[in-house]
Chain A
Amino acid sequence: MTKTDIQRQLTTVFRDVFDDPRLELNDSTTAQDVENWDSITHVDLIGAVEKSFGIRFTVKDIRGLTNVGDFIRLIASLVK
């Protein structure tokens, strides 16, 4: 999977979880930039990303995320 593929698929997941069809992501997007991205929706997001990509994160992975760029790199390291 290329970075673009991951970003495209991740955007779909974000749009679904945050219920915003116009939401756009870039590497530096953080929780502050997305409406309703709080500790509760973060758990929803993790679950939805795992399901969509067929991967499992570790708690350490999840705690280490600071922005969407991290997210994409993490996914890239886990997908076959």
Chain B
Amino acid sequence: MLKNDRSGLDYYALVKKAKRLIPGHGEKLKLALLADVSTQHLLPLLRVLFAEAGIDAEIYEGGYDTIQLEAYNPASGLYSFQPQIVVILQSLMKLKGQFYDFPEDRGNFSRIQADSIEKLWKAIQSRSPASIIQSTFVIPCERPFGNFGQKVTDHLQDAVRELNRELCLRGRLQPGVFIDDIDHIAAWVGRRHFLDERLWGLAKTLCALEFLPDVAQSLVDIALASIGRAVKCVVLDLDNTLWGGVVGDDGLEGIGLGDLDEGGAFRSFQQYLRELSRRGIMLAVCSKNNETLARQVFQEHSGMVLKEEHIAVFVANWDDKATNIRRIRETLNIGFDSMVFLDDNPFERNLVRQLIPQIIVPELPEEPALYVRFLSELNLFETASHSSLDSQRNILYQEQQKRAAESGKFGDLNEYLQSLDTEAAFKPFEPANLSRIAQLIQRSNQFNLTTRRYAESECGAIMNDAENFFPFTIALRDRVGDFGLINIVILRLRRPDGALEIDTFLMSCRVLQRGVEEYAMNKIFEYARHCRYERVVGRYIPTAKNVMVKDFFQRFGFVCVEDSGAAGSEWSLRVDDYVARKVFIREQPLHPPVPVPAAVAEE
């Protein structure tokens, strides 16, 4: 994503930065770039833009036009590189040649091309657990039929349109394949500027140099989302951000919100925000206002698209905004770097930027009619997964607030936990849950002992490898609501010494202090005892975000057998020495299976 505007995407400035880049900082990421265009100009841009996002990218550059050779040869450099992400970048210019030389009925061209690309994905996925990013093709400018081309199919433009559509449809059915819509970039900047036929002749570049940074940025955006870096919450100011004017001065009827002038701009902006909410981004309000009056606008103003139910946290008071945003962050339990703050007032934006440097604060344009366009251009909301229940996230959160309110009524924690009437569903990995499992693995940062980011395809492989793995999930619900699947444990048989290793243990932060981790640990040792393991071992690998679980193993009586500091510590416990923990969670019978609802924010 762009944190501010496109000014960071100047080709020459980035090339210069690339020369001064000092590698070795940030999270490591191995990306392989396969292309039927020359990638030499793209490579330095990718390095810099990854570095700016805090990623130390190691990039494997396949030879010019060797996509098939790399993919179909199991001994190719691609596979020995062991990439986490494989980019397949294909150009209109190459496709054009294939189209005009196509010997068969052109009506079959798109389908045959799509078949061959899909085969390529499958070949890569059969040999590598990497995620794949596939480019779309730029719709060509040439129109031998003029506008009549819309009515006939025997021409390049129609073939490319159909091919792009085919790639999207097939990509939907193929987990682990992401589509980078290069044609969207080209259309946005203008296809006649994007395509540079002279440069194709000279150097076989994908597009004009000027727009290569946009291409690189979109690849970076998708790669980041695929490793779990994503915006989870948008924090909104109210006066002059969601509506025109100041409700405290202008009154409920006096604010600009409706069909006309500014009012219309604010309405479209709210529609856009409601779409974000549907898509699973949480909305929070942070406003210097009288809370009753501010809420009244949401409840009573007929022009409001956003209602209170769309807002996960509503903060309206006279404290400074940085303090309020910290409160919002605490309640939602997410990182500042996954929050975007939108405010029309430059003073507030600068204050928040200065006090909370990690938060994303776009420099909103002065004209509210341009808010949506501006935010779309930054591509802040890239994601690597979507479940149809993402839109319920705000409801889940509101339930959480209700629980918090109730916990105040009980003196004793156990008494409170009992009153919640919690039920757990313990299950091995199932095909139907894989996308949710992969999503949770990508998103969990805090309650995550090893932060191993398995892609959906890898989760599937683990599920099917019963000789080496026992992976399970826990879903939870209580009197107030349904949390869905919130805990993932992957147990692995450690070959050298036959110990049972906790490869992965992670949990959604929404269910802290409910006894879920105790319940899960009891399950681990039940399993270990059942299979006659002698010892359970586990690692804690520290990251910037998981200090919460530093003492996790100690809590359960594990003994530290090795402490390599930043590289992590290893813990071990004899199965016979484990004392089962008391929990206030009832086990749900396995049938009928519980439906698995959506994710929530930071998990």
Q: Does A1 contact B (CB under 8 A)?
A: no
A59 near B203 (CB under 8 angstroms)?
Answer: no
Q: Across the interface, which residues of A come within 8 angstroms of B201, CB to CB?
A: 59
- Interface hits, A1-42 → B, CB 8 Å: 16-17, 19, 39-40
A residues 41-62 with Cβ under 8 Å of B?
A: 43-44, 46-48, 57-59, 62
By beta carbon, the residue of chain B nearest A63 is B202
Report B-chain residues with C-beta under 8 Å of the C-beta of A17. Answer: 12
Closest to B38 in A: A40
Tell me if A44 and B16 are in contact (CB < 8 A): no
Q: How many residues of A contact B (CB 8 A)?
A: 14
Q: How far is the CA of A43 from the CA of B12 in the complex (A)?
A: 12
Could you tell me the distance between the alpha carbons of A46 and B203 in the complex, rounded to whole angstroms?
11
The answer to whether B209 touches A43, judged by C-beta atoms less than 8 angstroms apart, is: yes
Please name the residue on chain B nearest to A17 by beta carbon: B12
Which chain B residues border A40 with CB–CB below 8 Å?
40-41, 203
Residues of A within 8 A of B205 (CB): 43
Interface residues of B in 3-43 (CB under 8 A from A): 11-12, 15-16, 19, 40-41
How far, in Å, is B216 (CB) from chain A's closest CB? 15
- Contact across chains for A43 and B202 when beta carbons are under 8 A apart: yes
**A47 to B12 alpha-carbon distance, docked (Å):** 10
Expressed in whole angstroms, the minimum distance between the Cβ of B197 and any Cβ of chain A is 9
CA distance A19 to B13 in the complex (A): 11
> How many Å lie between the Cα of A44 and that of B15 in the bound state?
9
Which chain B residue lies CB-closest to A56? B198
**Which size class do B's interface residues fall under?**
10 to 19
**Nearest-CB distance from B43 to chain A (Å)?**
10
Q: How far is the CB of A71 from chain B (nearest CB, A)?
A: 15
Q: Decide if B480 is an interface residue (CB 8 Å cutoff).
A: no
Whether A16 and B12, one on each chain, are in contact in the complex, defined by CB atoms closer than 8 angstroms, is yes
Give B44's nearest chain A residue, CB to CB: A40
Query: What's the dominant secondary structure at chain B's contact region?
Result: helix
- A19-B16 contact in complex given A40-B40, A40-B41, C-beta closer than 8 Å: yes
Smallest beta-carbon distance A59→chain B, Å? 5
Least distance between B206 CB and chain A CB atoms (Å)? 12
- Which residue of A is nearest B40, CB measured? A40
Asked if residues A43 and B41 are in contact (CB atoms below 8 Å), the reply is yes
Chain A: interface secondary structure? helix
Q: Identify B209's interface contact among A19, A39, A44, A58, CB under 8 A.
A: A44
B199 at the interface (CB under 8 A from A): yes
The chain B residue sitting closest to A61, CB to CB, is B198
> B201: nearest residue on chain A (CB-CB)?
A59
Q: How far is the CA of A19 from the CA of B208 in the complex (A)?
A: 21
- Chain A nearest CB: distance from B543 CB in Å? 36
Known contacts A39-B203, A43-B209: A58-B16 contact under CB 8 Å: no
Tell me which residues across on chain A come within 8 A of B16, comparing CB atoms.
16, 19
Q: How far is the CA of A19 from the CA of B19 in the complex (A)?
A: 9
Residue of A nearest to B19 (CB): A19
Say whether B202 contacts A59, CB under 8 Å.
yes
Q: How far is the CB of A34 from the nearest CB of chain B, in Å?
A: 15
User: With contacts A16-B12, A17-B12, A59-B198 known, is A43 near B19, CB below 8 A?
Assistant: no
Which of B12, B19, B40, B198 meets A48, CB within 8 Å? Answer: B12
Report whether B199 and A43 are in contact in the complex, using a CB–CB cutoff of 8 Å: yes
**By the criterion CB–CB under 8 Å, are B40 and A44 in contact?**
no
Q: How far is the CB of A25 from chain B (nearest CB, A)?
A: 19
CB-CB under 8 A from A57, the residues of chain B are 198
Interface mask (B101-131 → A, CB under 8 Å = 1, otherwise 0): 0000000000000000000000000000000
A58 to chain B, nearest CB (A): 7
A19 contacts across to B, CB distance below 8 A: 16, 19
14 residue pairs of the A-B complex, CB under 8 angstroms, read A17-B12, A39-B203, A40-B41, A43-B202, A44-B12, A44-B15, A44-B209, A46-B202, A47-B11, A47-B210, A48-B12, A58-B198, A59-B201, A62-B202
User: What are the 9 A-B residue pairs with the smallest beta carbon separation, nearest first?
Assistant: A43-B203, A47-B209, A40-B40, A59-B201, A59-B198, A19-B19, A59-B202, A19-B16, A48-B12
